[in-house]
Structure 1
Amino acid sequence: MSDSGENDAAWTLYKDRPEWRDLKPVPENDGPSPVVVIAHSEKFEDVYNYFRAVLQSNEKSERALQLTKDAVELNPANYTVWQYRRDLLQALGTDLRTELDYVEAVIKHSPKNYQVWHHRRVLVEWLQDPSLELELTGDALLQDPKNYHAWQHRQWVMKTFGLFDKELEFVDNLITEDVRNNSAWNQRYFVMNNHLGWSDLNVQREICYTLEKIKFVKNNESSWNYLRGVCFHDKRGINGNAVVTSFCEELYKNKCRSPYLLAFIIDMCDEAIKKGETNTFHNADRAILLCHDLATKYDKIRSKYWNYVCDKFKKIQKAQNETDNHENNIDN
């Protein structure tokens, strides 16, 4: 899909085609004083000159449909071309199954093009048939596991038509292949949030699953973020889950200084302070120490952020000390 192709030598311009002589091409209008004029090939200008003419006359014909295909070939990101093609499909009563095949071919050439994925979505909506979509998106994600448009289309299809049954298995395979695949972790959360739900059993299962992945790669932001998201659904909180707290403290005891581990322990300290449940491990003093370590050694690129967080805990510490001193004075 480009401005030119291997078969351009055999290409017949629209202006030289007898069947198009009845239509006057409409050239691009850049205004009287264009700042930058984009240089297009003769083929590109010819196709789009005739596309503008068809658009202006609102022609609904098979030749117009073929013209949109040529226009897409040259610029698959052009919204107007895709929208007019949809208008033509409806007006002509075109076989939408054939159109699905065509769009699949375009996706293979332009897998990160929003317009073609949107076109596919409209076709599925018209047909009310999602039977090909999981395989299509699965193939796209095999080529690029982080293709945002493929994930977006997959999530829409699953949520619209309830196609969740085998998704955890699909996601687990991706995570097993690349534990740092943030898109796969996000999809796992999507399935839990929209299908399986956050029962206590599911929460504990997901916690155990995530801890096993963290054991494998401790310095992985994706799995730590997922753990934080799962713990949000634990009615006992982070500190109330002995499996999580003991896991983190064991890592810390064994000299693990992943910035994501330290940040997670800081969250534990913050939760303990807010609930008035501070202890030896989770309190303002430790949070300040960890913030300092992150800012100066383990996450220096975000030192300003950690200094900001540290100041917050220092204020909490100061307020607590003033309260303790006041209570001691009263007792005395």
Structure 2
Amino acid sequence: MSDCGDSDVLWIPYKERPEWSDVTPVPEDDGPNPVVVIAHSEKFEDVYDYFRAVLQSNEKSERVLHLTKDALELNPANYTVWQYRRDLLKHLNTDLRTELDYVEAVIKNSPKNYQVWHHRRVLVEWLQDPTMELELTGDALLQDPKNYHAWQHRQWAIKTFGLYEKELDFVDNLITDDVRNNSAWNQRYFVVNNNLGWSDLICQQEVCYTLEKINFVKNNESAWNYLRGLLIHDKRGLSGNAVITSFCEELYKNKCRSPFLLAFIIDVCEDAIKKKDTNCFHNADRAVELCQALATRYDKIRSKYWNYLCERYKKYQSEQLSNDNKTNDLIIDE
């Protein structure tokens, strides 16, 4: 929001309003030697000089409520003004439905302002009525599908009031529109984790859903990350799900060299190594090969990271070779 515009033509400074003549404005005090003096418009100074005055006197009145609205129009991120406005709403027993309408208008003009979303949350808590929150956040996310504050508010409303019923459909529409929408994938995890749970059936359903999206866009980090996350809840682990390992190997066989595929196979190798699985495909040798490929061809920008991992897997190779030699020596001795 701005401190200038068409409304300024009709603006009457508070210092010229007869109904405010009983209030002595309090100028901003930057101290005797301010490092940086912030330049404010005359309107901004006028409004905030009077706001500081009523804050000091702790005045709770309708005129102060209107003053906070002017102050927030000039700076919608001012926490003190929002907090004082909440105090006024309680003291004056103001119609909170009207306040919800006001906050919705502020959100539409300042959708990434944390303070206004927090104010909205407090109002919904007071009313215990979340009926408008999914529509409001949905509209905000249509404008910006990755608006963190809108997602945070939506998750709070859903979890607090149990509004899970249609959320997977909402998320699926977003992912269909943009399969790389990391926020939508995160919301999908949120819904499953907090509502459906990670039974074997749900895990497999989510695996199938995710593999379908990966097959559509193979170089999509969001889907690969979701796959990793859901497999934390699969008792078979990364290397134990045959559907996934077969899918990955089929992609690799068909010349797919997405860095996210290769990195995922490395994680599968890591899981197999930790389990001491003798799988011929997923071992330290394969991990070294893929790390080298990523470092030199497919993900050069993170070459140092892949080289670091490569050295670690080479140690696994040495340990495995040493163990094999010891086993051979025992067989010969016998």
TM over 0.5: yes
* Counterpart-to-counterpart distance in 2, 1:67 and 1:273: 66
Matched, 1:68 2:68: yes
**Could you say what secondary structure the match of 1:238 adopts?**
helix
Structure 1 match to 2:159: 159
* Counterpart-to-counterpart distance in 1, 2:4 and 2:309: 54
Structure 2 match to 1:17: 17
Segment of structure 1 superposing worse, 7-16 or 79-88: 7-16
Segment of structure 1 superposing worse, 312-321 or 47-56: 312-321
Structure 2 match to 1:190: 190
Shift of 1:240: 1.8
Q: How does 1:289-304 map to 2 (within 5 A)?
A: 289-304=289-304
Shift of 1:93: 0.4
Structure 1: segments with no counterpart, 5+ residues: none
Sequence identity (%): 79
> What is the one-letter code of the residue matched to 1:281?
F
Deviation track 1:7-38 (CA, whole Å, cap 9, x = no partner) reads: 21211111111111100000011111111111
**Could you say what secondary structure the match of 1:239 adopts?**
helix
Structure 2 match to 1:47: 47
Shift of 1:281: 0.9
* Counterpart-to-counterpart distance in 1, 2:256 and 2:3: 53
Structure 1 match to 2:257: 257
Matched, 1:78 2:59: no
Shift of 1:328: 2.3
Segment of structure 1 superposing worse, 155-164 or 314-323: 314-323
Structure 2 match to 1:134: 134
* Counterpart-to-counterpart distance in 2, 1:213 and 1:301: 26
**Could you say what secondary structure the match of 1:82 adopts?**
helix
Segment of structure 1 superposing worse, 27-36 or 230-239: 230-239
Structure 2 match to 1:171: 171
Structure 2 match to 1:223: 223
**Could you say what secondary structure the match of 1:77 adopts?**
coil
> What is the one-letter code of the residue matched to 2:148?
Y
Residues 3 and 40, structure 1, Cα contact 8 Å, conserved in 2: no
* Counterpart-to-counterpart distance in 2, 1:278 and 1:290: 18
* Counterpart-to-counterpart distance in 1, 2:99 and 2:234: 46
Deviation track 1:47-79 (CA, whole Å, cap 9, x = no partner) reads: 000000010100000000000000000000000
* Counterpart-to-counterpart distance in 1, 2:325 and 2:32: 77
Residues 269 and 278, structure 1, Cα contact 8 Å, conserved in 2: no
Deviation track 1:73-120 (CA, whole Å, cap 9, x = no partner) reads: 000000000000000000000000000000000000000000000000
* Counterpart-to-counterpart distance in 2, 1:165 and 1:201: 19
Residues 61 and 88, structure 1, Cα contact 8 Å, conserved in 2: yes
Q: TM-score scaled by structure 2?
A: 0.98
* Counterpart-to-counterpart distance in 2, 1:246 and 1:105: 51
Deviation track 1:179-212 (CA, whole Å, cap 9, x = no partner) reads: 0000000000000000011111110000000000
Structure 2 match to 1:149: 149
Q: How does 1:98-113 map to 2 (within 5 A)?
A: 98-113=98-113
* Counterpart-to-counterpart distance in 2, 1:168 and 1:92: 41
* Counterpart-to-counterpart distance in 2, 1:26 and 1:309: 61
Shift of 1:325: 1.8
* Counterpart-to-counterpart distance in 1, 2:227 and 2:6: 51
Structure 1 match to 2:276: 276
* Counterpart-to-counterpart distance in 2, 1:321 and 1:53: 78
Shift of 1:304: 1.2
Q: How does 1:108-127 map to 2 (within 5 A)?
A: 108-127=108-127
* Counterpart-to-counterpart distance in 1, 2:239 and 2:318: 23
> What is the one-letter code of the residue matched to 1:202?
I
> What is the one-letter code of the residue matched to 2:305?
Y
Shift of 1:137: 0.5
> What is the one-letter code of the residue matched to 2:188?
R
Shift of 1:4: 1.6
* Counterpart-to-counterpart distance in 2, 1:278 and 1:208: 26
Structure 2 match to 1:318: 318
> What is the one-letter code of the residue matched to 2:257?
R
Shift of 1:5: 2.0
Structure 2: segments with no counterpart, 5+ residues: none
Matched, 1:330 2:326: no
Segment of structure 1 superposing worse, 309-318 or 106-115: 309-318
Shift of 1:331: 3.0
Structure 2 match to 1:90: 90
Deviation track 1:218-273 (CA, whole Å, cap 9, x = no partner) reads: 00000000011111111112222111011000000000000100010001101111
> What is the one-letter code of the residue matched to 1:24?
T
* Counterpart-to-counterpart distance in 2, 1:316 and 1:243: 26
Q: Which structure 1 residue ranges, 4+ long, deviate > 6 Å from structure 2?
A: none
* Counterpart-to-counterpart distance in 1, 2:206 and 2:261: 18
- Number of residue equivalences: 332
Matched, 1:233 2:238: no
* Counterpart-to-counterpart distance in 2, 1:128 and 1:177: 33
Shift of 1:330: 3.2
